[in-house]
């Protein structure tokens, strides 16, 4: 096992260039230590790059009505920052039920996103926000939609020389929003299903769920079918299930039942027809 501690992004990319085998940037370290201990990651040929001193990745600021959250921002710091902030209360709630206080004190936003954790409480809510991520590489910086980051659980679409530098988070312009995680998440035990729903005149209806075979998704068929139409809820759901199955992302019977129950509660509240 090799270890580097670069002091700037340039040094970081130098380390990446020098390294062979499996290279992992390390921020809070909880996820990597957990995987090493469980032997999901092999020590042989592993290079850890400690990025904690890269101060460029620690900024947390409001810019043009959006939040720019540096990748090294601790989850607990973000939770404190979002308390009482209009447009971010759903995310604040999701952060509060994400893992436990010890993990939130340790875990970083960038690590959480790059880890593509299947049971993440945050991913579905971030998809409702239509969040973007900022990626740096030796060639410069680019922004992509968050949903393009996930490849499959625990695997992202980043190239070897790319690093998440920030999460760009527009406010969720929702008059009404709900968040629901099935089961309590403790430590590394994942919630079987996490669902988020929001509605506003400007942004319309947004529905997202997490812990599917390919990670978190927006249920766009369901959103489209339910928006202003009179198609029965059960038929809208069937079309969404069918669509997800075709995408290689089938919901389990348990998840289908939970999504039905979630939507039924929203329907009974009179939020959808």
Partner 1 sequence: MSTASVNILTLNLKINGRDYCVSCSPDASLSSVLRDNIGLSGTKEGCGSGECGCCTVLLDSKSVKSCITPAFRAEGAEVITIEGLSSPVHPLHPVQEAFVEAGAIQCGFCTPGFVLSAYSLLKEIPNPDEQDIKNGLSGNICRCTGYETIFKAVQLAAEKLNSSEREARE
Single residue of 21, 42, 43, 159 touching partner 1 by CB under 8 A: 43
Query: Among 64-72, 97-105, 125-133, 193-201, which window interacts with partner 1 (CB under 8 A)?
Result: 97-105
Give least dist CB 29 to partner 1, A.
4
Is residue 96 near partner 1 by the rule CB under 8 A?
yes
CA distance 98 to 106: 12
Is residue 58 involved in binding partner 1 (CB under 8 A)? no
Nearest distance in Å: CB 74, partner 1: 8
Does residue 7 belong to the site contacting partner 1 (CB under 8 A)?
yes
Letter string b/e over residues 106-129, b meaning 16 or more CB atoms within 10 A of that residue's CB: bbbbbbbbbbbbbbbbbbbbbbbb
By CB under 8 A, residue 82 contacts partner 1: no
Single out the residue of 57, 75, 94, 99 in contact with partner 1 (rule: CB under 8 A): 99
Q: Which stretch binds partner 1 (CB under 8 A): 128-136, 164-172, 183-191, 240-248?
A: 183-191
**Helices assigned H by DSSP within 107-182:** 109-115, 122-128
The least distance separating partner 1 from the CB of residue 125, rounded to whole angstroms, comes to 18
Residues 222, 207 contacting (CB under 8 angstroms)? yes
Q: Which is nearer to partner 1, 4 or 262 (CB)?
A: 4
- Short-list 84, 66, 78, 155, CA closest to 117: 155
Among 184, 201, 253, 268, binds partner 1 (CB under 8 A): 184
E strands of the chain, at which residues? 2-4, 22-26, 46-50, 60-63, 66-70, 132-137, 140-145, 150-152, 155-156, 163-170, 176-181, 194-200, 204-212, 215-218
Which of 56, 61, 101, 234 touches partner 1 by CB under 8 A? 101
For residue 118, the minimal CB distance to partner 1 (Å) is: 16
Number of residues that bind partner 1 (CB under 8 A): 41
Task: Calculate ∠ Cα 151-152-156, nearest 5°.
Answer: 45
Binding residue for partner 1, selected from 22, 188, 243, 260, defined by CB under 8 A: 188
State the nearest-atom distance from the C-beta of 81 to partner 1, in Å.
Answer: 14
Cα–Cα–Cα angle for 99, 40, 125, rounded to 5 degrees: 30
161 makes contact with partner 1 (CB under 8 A): no
CA–CA gap between residue 209 and residue 196 (Å, rounded): 6
The CA radius of gyration of the chain, in Å to the nearest whole number, is 19
């Amino acid at each position: 096992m090799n270890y580097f501690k670069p002091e700037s992004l340039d040094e970081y990319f130098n380390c990446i260039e020098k390294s062979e085998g499996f290279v992992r940037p390390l921020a809070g370290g909880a996820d990597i230590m957990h995987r090493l201990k469980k032997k999901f990651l092999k020590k042989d040929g592993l290079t850890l790059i400690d990025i904690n001193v890269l101060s460029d990745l620690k900024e947390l600021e409001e810019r043009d009505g959006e939040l720019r959250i540096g990748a090294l921002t601790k989850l607990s710091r973000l939770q404190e920052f979002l308390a009482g902030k209009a447009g971010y209360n759903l995310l604040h709630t999701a952060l509060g039920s994400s893992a436990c206080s010890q993990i939130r004190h340790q875990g970083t936003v960038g690590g959480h996103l790059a880890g593509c954790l299947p049971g993440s409480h945050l991913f579905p809510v971030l998809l409702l926000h239509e969040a973007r991520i900022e990626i740096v590489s030796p060639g410069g910086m680019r922004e992509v939609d968050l949903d393009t980051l996930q490849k499959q659980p625990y695997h992202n679409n980043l190239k070897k020389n790319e690093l998440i530098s920030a999460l760009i988070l527009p406010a969720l312009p929702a008059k009404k929003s709900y968040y629901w995680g099935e089961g309590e998440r403790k430590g590394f035990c994942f919630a079987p299903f996490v669902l988020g729903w929001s509605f506003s005149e400007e942004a319309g209806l947004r529905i997202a769920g997490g812990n599917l075979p390919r990670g978190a998704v927006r249920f766009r068929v369901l959103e489209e079918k339910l928006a202003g139409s009179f198609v029965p809820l059960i038929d809208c759901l069937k079309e969404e299930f069918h669509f997800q199955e075709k995408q290689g992302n089938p919901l389990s019977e348990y998840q289908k039942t939970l999504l039905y129950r979630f939507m039924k509660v929203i329907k009974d509240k009179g939020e959808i027809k």
